Chains A and B, each alone.
Chain A
Amino acid sequence: MNATDQIDTDNELFLRVRDHNDVAAFRELYRRYHKRIFAYCVRIVGQEEGARDAFQNVFTAVYEQRQQFEPGEFSRWLFSIAKRQAQRVYTRTVADRVPAEVEELAIESMIDEDAVDSEDLQMASYVRRAVNELPSEFRDVIMLRYFEDLSYEDIATQLNISLSLAKVRVNRAKARLQSLLNLTPEDLS
């Protein structure tokens, strides 16, 4: 399976959404992308609540702008919308008292769809960089668990540690990564 198959399938699904309002196709695309889009919004906005705003706006915009989608790279189109929405929220929250025209100019300078160069791949490298920043004992378990796809039992065997310690270490490594990636859950109540 190569990347093209993935792109074609996403396209195919979204064309069903665009042309037939196909709910199942929409659900499948949402399932594939929603967490990555959320993480992407967090990365740009920098905090949970704003990221949630942006996230909602992304999928609303995807649906509302479906007629503008032209067969191509769905992922690129989706991330370009995410970029625009997240940066809009960011500008609103951070540049709180910037006069409207300045704010608009700031938004304009960020809405550059041509500059959205494979954000999906950038997210992967963003995650990789965070993994590389982990202390070695955490990095090792993450690499074994996610990049080599080993079970907890295999990780325990390979590192010569107990099964429970393997699980604890993976959980701690994930908590550290959440912190590095601003993904630590916040209390929004």
Chain B
Amino acid sequence: MKPQPTPPEERLLDDLVSTPEREDFFASVEQDLVSRMEREGGSAPAPRRNGWIAGSAIVIGAALSLAAWFLLQPDAPVIVDTAPYSLTVEAIPPEAAVSATPGAAEPSAQHTADAASPRPSETTSRTADPSSADPSQIGATARSSSPMAQRALREVDSLRTALAAEPEIARQLSLRYDIGVRLRIAGNHADAQRQLESLATDAHAVNADVLSARSLQQAAMAARDRGQLDRARTLLTSAIDRLPAGQDKLRSRWEKELAAW
């Protein structure tokens, strides 16, 4: 690799940015990403294959954890439909989900729950506590040990506190979006996907279609990251379909993203 001359402004900026505390921060961000790359090791086209394998493992794991869950939860909600990667649970009208109650972000409002998920109404508190042992969240718990993931989880906690006190529906939806994204950053893809899918439905119900589409796109990324590529493509396709007119740049970017998957 050829050495590159560094422009003076850049050298100066580097010196101004550099402090011991920031260097620690930069090193921890770098290490998080490097660890992730190493975990996901291999060549780039491989994610599809790896994702398929991971997806299969998740489906098997999901079936086992779901069976265990039913054994422990005799009052579980009635399953009315099944799909390869998702189960439809009792439907609550979107209006109820976005009614001006502080608990609007609770996953109990959701329409679909992933087969790999714990009981919907319990997921929120479980996610905030990396120590809670849920069989379906083992991967997420492991990731939660990284500084970046812990930071994201801390932010989830404070966002949830803000959400609990937030009476305004539009702002609730926005906070729920932030929570979903943070959960994804924290590596808790199953919970992130579930929350974002639920949010997409609720936002759509109040005609917040850009937010709804964005939620679907983020849910798609969460699904992709947990190896559910088919589900990810379906979600991203729905996100593109839901985008209102005038969002051409976003549409084009997502279409490119979809083609890459």
Q: Which residues of A contact B (CB under 8 A)?
A: 1, 5-6, 9, 18-21, 23, 26-28, 30, 32, 34-36, 38-39, 52-53, 55-57, 59-60, 63-68, 92, 97, 99-105, 108, 111-113, 123-124, 127-128, 131, 142, 146-147, 149, 174, 177-178, 181, 183, 185, 188
Contacts and interface: CB of A to CB of B under 8 A. Distances in A.
Interface stretch (B19-27, B137-145, B230-238): B19-27
Main secondary structure of the interface of B (DSSP, over half): helix
B241 interface: no
Contacts of B173: 100
A95 B178 CA distance: 14
B250 interface: yes
A100 B177 contact: yes
B34 A26 contact: yes
B71 to A, nearest CB: 37
Contacts of A67: 44, 260
Nearest to B246: A108
Nearest to B30: A30
Given A27-B34, A177-B16, A103 B174 contact: yes
Nearest to B19: A185
A19 B10 contact: no
Given A21-B43, A101-B208, A127-B12, A38 B30 contact: no
B74 interface: no
**Chain B interface bracket (under 10, 10 to 19, 20 to 34, 35 or more):** 35 or more
A35 B173 CA distance: 34
Given A101-B208, A124-B7, A127-B13, 9 more contacts: A9-B2, A21-B37, A23-B38, A27-B30, A38-B22, A39-B13, A60-B185, A64-B225, A127-B12
B15 interface: yes
A177 B126 CA distance: 45
Contact of B10 (A36, A38, A100): A36
B210 A111 contact: no
Nearest to B177: A100
B180 to A, nearest CB: 13
Q: Count chain B CB atoms within 10 A of each CB in A20, A30, A56, A131 and give the residue with the most.
A: A56
20 contacts: A20-B43, A21-B40, A23-B34, A28-B1, A34-B26, A35-B13, A36-B10, A39-B13, A53-B155, A59-B30, A65-B257, A68-B257, A92-B178, A100-B173, A101-B211, A104-B211, A113-B249, A123-B13, A185-B21, A188-B21
A21 B4 contact: no
A101 B10 contact: no
